[in-house]
Chain A
């Protein structure tokens, strides 16, 4: 999922 790695986009 998008968030567990922390959002990597600005």
Chain B
């Protein structure tokens, strides 16, 4: 473990907590893409199947459980408890266009052709594009609540910090995982225009409005 990965994990946890609190406190999931939340739940489920078979550390197991519970809890709040506030008219990204190609690619490019490894690879590839429905929804509505932009900033920062972690691990341990690195770079690049808007607008107290 290194500080970059730890701060990255905490940023990821912060993002998930921000979103959960936003939905719970405002009793509304307006402006939030339920499809992205479904994809994130799928990412955690397919990645953490080794939760009980491959013990890494208490921290690792506890965080996996927290991610699973909070992401499924968010999906539950969006599609059941506060379903009436779910904006399905703007959350129209065809996620099958993500899941199918990612599923195919995970069979073609992986470290090991075993069920657990293919599911892990699927999870890594899926996570890199899972935010697309959310970014698409914001581009359709043309704006995002400030709390949602904080959520996205924390979520985008987590994988950017993981990239720093991979550089650090490469130089200190000689460790590198090309699948995770390439997918992590794609994932972080997808946030770039949002990062620009966040830093130039939200941090100056303005509402996040996409140029029409």
Query: Do A and B interact with each other, yes or no?
Result: yes
Residues of A in contact with B (beta carbons under 8 Å apart): 1-3, 6-10
Contact B177 A10 (CB under 8 A): no
Q: Chain B, 39-70, contact with A by CB distance < 8 Å: what is the 0/1 string?
A: 00000000100100010100010011001000
Shortest Cβ gap from B14 to chain A (Å): 14
- The chain A residue sitting closest to B55, CB to CB, is A6
Interface residues contributed by chain B, number (CB under 8 Å): 22
Q: A9-B162, A10-B60 are in contact. Are A2 and B12 (CB under 8 A)?
A: no
Residues of B in contact with A (beta carbons under 8 Å apart): 5, 9, 12, 47, 50, 54, 56, 60, 63-64, 67, 111-112, 117, 120, 162, 165, 175-177, 179-180
Which residue of B5, B56, B180 is within 8 Å of A2 (Cβ)? B180
Contact A3 B112 (CB under 8 A): yes
Given contacts A3-B177, A10-B9, A10-B67, 19 further A-B contacts (CB under 8 A): A2-B111, A2-B176, A2-B177, A3-B111, A3-B117, A3-B120, A6-B50, A6-B56, A7-B47, A7-B50, A7-B120, A8-B56, A8-B60, A9-B5, A9-B162, A9-B165, A9-B180, A10-B63, A10-B64
Chain A neighbourhood of B117, CB < 8 A? 3
Chain B neighbourhood of A10, CB < 8 A? 9, 12, 60, 63-64, 67
Chain B neighbourhood of A8, CB < 8 A? 56, 60
Chain B neighbourhood of A7, CB < 8 A? 47, 50, 120, 177
